[in-house]
Structure 1
Amino acid sequence: MRLSRKTLAMIGAAGCTAIGGALLWALQPVAPKTAENLYTPDGANRAEVVTGAPADYGKVPKLGPPLPGDLGRPIVSAQQNGETIPVPPMGNPPADEARDRARLEREAATASRIFLGGGASGAPVADAQRGSIEPSAATMSAPEGGARTPAAARRAFLAGGSAEPFESAERVHAPASPYILQAGSLIPAALITGIRSDLPGQVTAQVTQNVYDSPTGRILLIPQGARLIGDYESEISVGQERVLLAWNRLILPGGRSIRLDRQPGADARGMAGLADRTDHHWGSMLRAALVSTLLGVGAELGSDGDDALVRALRDGPQDTVNQSGRRLVERQMNISPTLTIRPGFALRVLVTRDLILEPPAGAAP
């Protein structure tokens, strides 16, 4: 049986046309059908608010002047009946407002701190009033937002000392004693006992050079070999490398002593505190990080093909191990460094208050 090519071509074309038409019909958007009222009455009832409202803005009623609350309704009724009734004024009259304003000003002036001086003269009061009324230059230069610009800060700095007197009230004082060691002097010494900042404790040092009086520099006040007693600060913060010292007592040869009132200690260059050796505990931190890594790797080992029970039993210890490792590393990171100052370290005692001493026997000129 032979089929005609023309017949097959026509059948194929018809099939392609049918398929294309079906595809176009299927891709068309579905338009929603609007619902229609089955019955629409001609005389539909409308809302009373709509029917009672004016048809346009030109028919909106204009309101009259404000009326007092108690008499407003009777006045409106009388005016609608054709009677002429004057409207009473609303609020306080200007005379009452002026009296109230004057009374408030008197009360504010009476309560002001300017009049709390009692027997003060009139000039200071006037100055105080002028100072309270006139704003300062710093206040005027500052912007309203509260943030000070660099230009405003410079103007405030220049105007800050304008009210100070031109002459200082302080006067030069003579030394209280010829055997005085004035503030700013340095007492050279060396540590006898070492320092380790893990625990608080006492520290002793020995004066290494003779110290003479401040006025002349010829009277020996602190001989070489005197002892110093003090303490050091053990609360070291992370990154700190210097130990802060405070000296409490000076013991002279022969048993005499004087209280130093916590004079600060410095190194040989005059910098506050002493710096020698610093232990940041890097070894302990690396060990903690290594242990945390091993715990995390061991906890992550496991097969993805395990069932739910096996995964639950594995995930619980895994989270616990990871948290333990992180806490171990955090604890090591929060440990303060250990500062060590070896015995014999050179230092200076910075005198911050005048010390009146007695020269040793035979030392005075």
Structure 2
Amino acid sequence: MSAAEEQPVADDRLPEPVEASLAKSDPFRLRGEPPSVMRLSRKTLAIAGALAGTAIGGALLWALQPADKKAPENLYVAEGTNKPDTVTGAPADYGAIPKLGPPLPGDLGRPILSAQQEGQLPPVPPPPGQARAPDPALDARDRAREERESANASRLFLAGGAASRGPALDAEIEPSAAGQGNPTDSAPTAGRRSFMAAGDRAEESTAPIRAASSPYLLQAGSVIPAAMVTGIQSDLPGQVIAQVTENVYDSPTGRILLIPQGARLIGEYDSEVAAGQNRVLLGWDRLLFADGRSVSLERLPGADARGMAGLSDRTDNHWGHMIRAALVTSLLGAGAEIGSGDDDRLVRALRRGPQDGVSEVGQRLVDRQLRIPPTLTVRPGFPLRVLVTRDLILEPADGVGR
């Protein structure tokens, strides 16, 4: 038997427990069960994270606090009040006030008073003319008379003050009371009335009933239709031109042509515009015919197609300028307030000056924009009516009638 045959053959079989476990498991499995892993709880991790974040936030807040906290101080602190010499030099109470005695004769009064206060001289008796026995009734009458005189002279009560007031005081008060009203309130109204009252107006008829003085009469109450030839912009005063758009006939018969279509009207508009106004006031002065004739209208009022005084087309209230001024004022105020912290008094005092100046500039800017009146614009071609307020005696237009 050879040596190779004599060597024992190794046993490749697994131990019996392992073979038993493999026999019990799934025969198609390629590997065994992996080892289990221990997992942490999510609640535990969330609580730990919240605690750590709270601790870190508290540490940051504590670290960012100033070393010493001081309450803000006033910019101006009155450390002491200055009192006048009359107050500081006066006695502290009524007990320290020197008591006056009877009058002393001549220039020796002061030395005698000093000697009496030092106890060197006896009290000086009053002069013989002033020495009298006290009379309670006389003293009561004197006190009553003094009280009446003081009450009459007093102005504490309205009746007494009014009784004692003289004519000079009344003359001083009346102008001030009369000037309490705002003169600018009635200025636009007075200006418009004076604008419409410009020129002399002569009435055709002074008697209650009177026959027409001419058959070619255009009576008061008639309307002359026209349209604007030029435009109006109320920023500056100026003249306006309109053209008659329809034939105008006489008032008695309505058959005689007095104002033909195409006649020109010359007028003027009022450029004084108040806040909130949206109509332009205008008046007509002359009527020009095509053949060169003309007639004075003496400021006849103009109205729109509905008969309302003045013309209303476009109104510019300058809201854009006002909004820009308000924005600039807000930016200036915000810039002035930025950085106003708890600095010392010197820094705050230096900052207060520019802040006040910037605020005042912004307020003046807004006030200036508010004082700008609106701009009224009437475009060329706008229809209008001329209201005849007095009788007009005209001539027929080339003898043309209807």
TM-score scaled to structure 2, two decimals? 0.49
| Paired residues, number | 209
Aligned position for 2:347:
310
Aligned-partner SS, 2:230: coil
Aligned position for 1:345:
382
Q: Matched residues in 1 for 2:136 and 2:398: separation?
A: 119
The percent of aligned pairs where both chains have the same amino acid is 68
One of 320, 326, 334 as aligned partner of 1:297: 334
Q: Matched residues in 2 for 1:49 and 1:198: separation?
A: 90
Aligned position for 2:264:
227
Q: Matched residues in 2 for 1:238 and 1:52: separation?
A: 76
* 1:237-276 to 2 correspondences below 5 Å: 237-276=274-313
1:312 to partner: Cα distance: 1.8
Letter of the aligned partner of 1:239 in structure 2? G
Letter of the aligned partner of 1:261 in structure 2? E
Q: Matched residues in 1 for 2:229 and 2:207: separation?
A: 42
Aligned position for 2:96:
none
Letter of the aligned partner of 2:351 in structure 1? R
Greater alpha carbon shift after TM alignment, 355-364 vs 210-219 = 355-364
Q: Matched residues in 2 for 1:337 and 1:361: separation?
A: 46
Q: Matched residues in 2 for 1:232 and 1:197: separation?
A: 8
Aligned position for 1:282:
319
1:172 to partner: Cα distance: 1.1
Q: Matched residues in 1 for 2:286 and 2:317: separation?
A: 32
Provide closer, same or farther for how the CA distance between residues 247 and 53 of structure 1 changes in structure 2, counting only shifts above 3 A. closer
**2:397 is the counterpart of 1:360:** yes
* 1:138-177 to 2 correspondences below 5 Å: 170-177=207-214
* 1:75-90 to 2 correspondences below 5 Å: none
Aligned position for 1:205:
242
Stretches of structure 2 lacking an aligned partner (at least 5 in a row): 1-130, 141-205
Provide closer, same or farther for how the CA distance between residues 298 and 362 of structure 1 changes in structure 2, counting only shifts above 3 A. same
Q: Matched residues in 2 for 1:224 and 1:262: separation?
A: 21
Letter of the aligned partner of 2:358 in structure 1? V
Aligned position for 1:186:
223
Stretches of structure 1 lacking an aligned partner (at least 5 in a row): 1-46, 57-168
Q: Matched residues in 2 for 1:312 and 1:346: separation?
A: 63
Q: Matched residues in 1 for 2:136 and 2:343: separation?
A: 78
1:362 to partner: Cα distance: 3.5
Provide closer, same or farther for how the CA distance between residues 48 and 267 of structure 1 changes in structure 2, counting only shifts above 3 A. same
Letter of the aligned partner of 2:211 in structure 1? A
Aligned-partner SS, 2:213: coil
Aligned position for 2:371:
334
Query: After superposition, what is the alpha-carbon deviation per residue over 1:261-312, rounded to whole angstroms, capped at 9, x for unaligned?
Result: 0100001111100001111111110110000000001001124332222212
Aligned-partner SS, 1:221: strand
Letter of the aligned partner of 1:244 in structure 2? L
Query: After superposition, what is the alpha-carbon deviation per residue over 1:70-126, rounded to whole angstroms, capped at 9, x for unaligned?
Result: xxxxxxxxxxxxxxxxxxxxxxxxxxxxxxxxxxxxxxxxxxxxxxxxxxxxxxxxx
The structure whose Rg is larger is: 2
TM-score scaled to structure 1, two decimals? 0.54
1:53 to partner: Cα distance: 4.4
Aligned-partner SS, 2:305: coil
* 1:62-73 to 2 correspondences below 5 Å: none
